[in-house]
């Protein structure tokens, strides 16, 4: 197949006369618009872009429109070349056009590009959890992962993070009034975290495939008539780890807020992964991927979620310094860094079996009315199938109080947990064997901490001086996203509920 033709037009769309510039660009590139006047052309700004600004340009008087019009004109964000490899983007854009993976690519001008409009509806982040849409998106991702592109086959993830991290100020933020807020992002520490994470995720041996790398909802167009999903905006497209692509897409379920109550459940993730594997494994309609393959990819995705948060955390810092788009990039970056820290700590505690108390797994809102120190009968709801770890405080007359922890899972490393408690709370403690309830941890002193009008059991860890409260269900000790395990994280500058 011949290489997709494109043209370079040396023209700059000026900020103080955008509409006129867009009309000139449309007339130059689109034969059907050559005779259209400024009044004939309708210009609509499209929602969703936080790197560039997108405009739909259409001449509604044209009947029997060819499939490639109307057109979308993208104006590059200020200094966006610092975060985007425009040469690589051009290769991807033309090759995607040639392989039927994107819209017709018309060409470039000095501060943007123009391409055909893909018919269909751009998704909202709430749409991503729809099971039918999940299947369409999973299938299209699998198709992307199967193609060959004439670009470097090395995964782009870590080099991109290093590039963006090098642009992030280590000490003083350029804008004085935002400097104090910026310091809470702890850039130096995040750079070190990225180095360690690169080594850790390498052990997963995630396949290197061609990825879109930015599958947020507005970059996905669903054509209901054709029952097909298409992707747009290939600025970050490159070879990368399969786990990163899927993890990054799952993180986008939360939207720009982000609202991680919308993060896909394990059931939703496994449905998506199953649909993806059906294509990559070339299974027949009657065949299903093995449970082992689904579980392996499920774990891979959720661990690569850490890399996704670091990726967009550093991206946000660079954008905050350069972009002229009205968007709070630092707040967005802070949200990703907080989520990175929370998930990192979750994995640490999961892998070292440091589980302290268990409350019935409910929504985050319901936790507000739960007291972990209450008697079972006062907690409410059906507790017949729920096991609790009990934390009790005994106040002895004239002596220090004693905190006891009972009914931990039998396979816990009790000595490690006791050692951690003694070091964390600077207290003495011991293990006591009880015939009825098994091993009991006893700690000298009352180690409850009041938090949000309820008593929780704080676990201190030296990472970023966070104080963590963890609420985990015995029935759900699989690695998954931390906010599905109801994390509450608090430090001087950070609050997550």
Listed residues 81, 116, 151: the one ending a domain: 116
Q: Is residue 50 part of a domain?
A: yes
| 163/304 same-domain check | yes
Note down the domain range covering 50. Answer: 7-116
CA distance 97 to 93: 6
- The pLDDT, as a whole number, for residue 22 is 97
Q: Which residue has the tokens 């000139």?
A: 24
Listed residues 305, 324, 351: the one ending a domain: 351
Element housing 454 (H / E): strand 454-456
| 101/171 same-domain check | no
Residues linked to residue 322 through DSSP beta bridges, in sequence order: none
| 306/403 same-domain check | no
Record the tokens describing residue 241, joined without a space: 């780890």
* Nearest Cα to Cα of residue 213 among 251, 185, 187, 261: 251
Q: Is residue 356 part of a domain?
A: no
Domain at 376, CATH number = 3.30.780.10
| 127/273 same-domain check | yes
- The pLDDT, as a whole number, for residue 448 is 57
Q: Is residue 487 part of a domain?
A: no
- The pLDDT, as a whole number, for residue 128 is 96
Listed residues 116, 135, 158: the one ending a domain: 116
Domain at 58, CATH number = 3.30.200.20
| 92/168 same-domain check | no
- The pLDDT, as a whole number, for residue 290 is 96
CA distance 92 to 96: 6
pLDDT tens digit at each of 497 positions of the chain: 444 567 889 999 999 999 999 999 999 999 999 999 999 999 999 876 677 889 999 999 988 887 778 999 999 988 888 888 888 888 888 888 887 787 889 999 999 999 999 989 999 999 999 999 999 999 999 999 999 998 889 999 999 999 999 999 998 898 998 998 898 888 998 998 899 899 989 999 999 999 999 999 999 999 988 999 999 989 899 999 999 999 999 999 988 877 877 889 889 999 999 999 999 999 988 899 999 999 999 989 988 999 999 999 999 999 999 888 888 999 999 889 888 877 776 665 554 444 333 222 222 223 233 333 333 333 333 434 334 556 677 776 666 788 887 776 666 677 877 887 787 678 899 999 988 888 888 888 876 553 222 223 333 333 333 333 333 333 333 333 333 333 333 222 222 22
Q: Is residue 287 part of a domain?
A: yes
Q: How far is CA 258 from CA 26, 49, 140, 290, in A?
A: 35, 16, 25, 33
DSSP-derived secondary structure for 4-63: PP-EEE-----GGGHHHHHHHHHHHH-GGGTT--TTTEEEEEES--SSSEEEEEEETT-S
Long-range pairs of 197-202 with CB within 8 A, sequence gap ≥ 24: 197/306, 197/307, 197/310, 198/158, 200/303, 201/241, 201/243, 201/303, 201/304, 201/306, 201/307
Alpha helices by DSSP H, 127-213:
131-145, 157-167, 179-183, 187-202
Domain at 196, CATH number = 3.90.1200.10
Query: Could you tell me the pTM of the whole model?
Result: 0.71
| 134/109 same-domain check | no
Record the tokens describing residue 444, joined without a space: 């000298």
Q: Is residue 265 part of a domain?
A: yes
Number of domains in the chain: 3
CA distance 302 to 343: 9
Q: Is residue 482 part of a domain?
A: no
Please enumerate in sequence order all residues whose Cβ is within 8 A of that of 244, keeping only pairs 6 or more positions apart, or say none: 155, 157, 206, 211, 213, 304, 307, 308, 311
- The pLDDT, as a whole number, for residue 408 is 67
> What are φ and ψ of residue 7, in 5° steps?
-125, 150
Q: Is residue 490 part of a domain?
A: no
| 217/334 same-domain check | yes
| 377/293 same-domain check | no
Q: How far is CA 406 from CA 355, 357, 451, in A?
A: 12, 9, 22
| 339/375 same-domain check | no
CA distance 167 to 46: 29
| 156/300 same-domain check | yes
| 283/337 same-domain check | yes
Q: Is residue 230 part of a domain?
A: yes
CA distance 458 to 440: 18
CA distance 324 to 127: 29
| 309/190 same-domain check | yes
Within 13 Å of residue 352, how many CA atoms lie on the same side as its CB? 15
Spell out where 301-427 has E strands: 390-394, 402-406
């Amino acid at each position: 197949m011949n290489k997709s033709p494109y043209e370079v037009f040396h023209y700059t769309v000026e900020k103080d006369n955008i509409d006129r510039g867009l009309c000139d660009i449309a007339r130059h590139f689109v034969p059907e618009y050559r005779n259209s006047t400024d009044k004939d052309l309708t210009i609509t700004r499209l929602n969703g872009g936080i790197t560039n600004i997108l405009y739909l340009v259409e001449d509604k008087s044209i009947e029997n429109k060819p499939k490639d019009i109307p057109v979308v004109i993208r104006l590059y964000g200020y200094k966006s070349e610092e975060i985007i490899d425009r040469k690589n983007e051009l290769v991807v854009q033309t090759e995607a056009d040639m392989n039927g993976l994107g819209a017709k690519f018309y060409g470039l001008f000095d501060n943007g590009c123009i391409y055909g409009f893909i018919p269909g509806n751009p998704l909202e982040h709430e749409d991503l959890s729809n099971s039918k849409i999940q299947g369409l998106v999973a299938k299209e991702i699998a198709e992307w992962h199967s193609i060959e592109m004439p670009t470097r086959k090395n995964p782009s993830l870590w080099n991109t993070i290093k590039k963006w991290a090098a642009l992030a100020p280590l000490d003083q933020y350029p804008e004085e009034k935002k400097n104090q807020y910026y310091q809470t992002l702890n850039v130096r520490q995040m750079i070190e975290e990225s180095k360690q994470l690169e080594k850790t995720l390498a052990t997963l041996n995630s396949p290197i495939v061609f990825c879109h790398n930015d599958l947020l909802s507005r970059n996905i167009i669903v054509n209901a008539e054709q029952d097909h999903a298409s992707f747009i905006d290939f600025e970050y497209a490159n070879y990368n780890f399969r786990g990163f692509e899927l993890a990054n897409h799952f993180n986008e379920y939360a939207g720009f807020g982000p609202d991680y109550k919308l993060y896909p459940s394990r059931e939703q993730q496994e449905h998506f992964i199953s649909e993806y594997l059906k294509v990559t494994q070339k299974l027949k309609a009657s065949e299903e991927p093995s449970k082992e393959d689904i579980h392996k990819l499920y774990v891979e995705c959720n661990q690569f979620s850490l890399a996704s948060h670091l990726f967009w955390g550093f991206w946000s810092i660079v954008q905050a310094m350069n972009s002229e788009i009205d968007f709070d990039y630092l707040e967005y970056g802070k949200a990703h860094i907080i989520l990175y820290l929370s998930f990192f700590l979750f994995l640490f505690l999961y892998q070292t079996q440091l589980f302290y108390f268990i409350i019935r797994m409910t929504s985050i809102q319901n936790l507000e009315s739960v007291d972990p120190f209450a008697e079972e009968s006062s907690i409410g709801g059906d507790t017949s199938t729920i096991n609790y770890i009990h934390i009790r405080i005994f106040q002895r007359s004239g002596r220090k109080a004693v905190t006891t922890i009972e009914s931990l899972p039998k396979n816990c490393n009790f000595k490690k947990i006791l050692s951690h408690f003694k070091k964390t709370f600077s207290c003495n403690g011991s293990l006591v064997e009880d015939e009825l309830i098994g091993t009991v941890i006893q700690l000298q002193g009352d180690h409850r901490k009041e938090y949000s009008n309820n008593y929780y059991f704080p676990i201190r860890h030296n990472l970023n001086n966070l104080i963590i409260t963890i609420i985990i269900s015995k029935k759900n000790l699989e690695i998954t996203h931390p906010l599905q395990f109801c994390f509450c994280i608090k430090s001087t500058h950070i609050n997550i509920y």
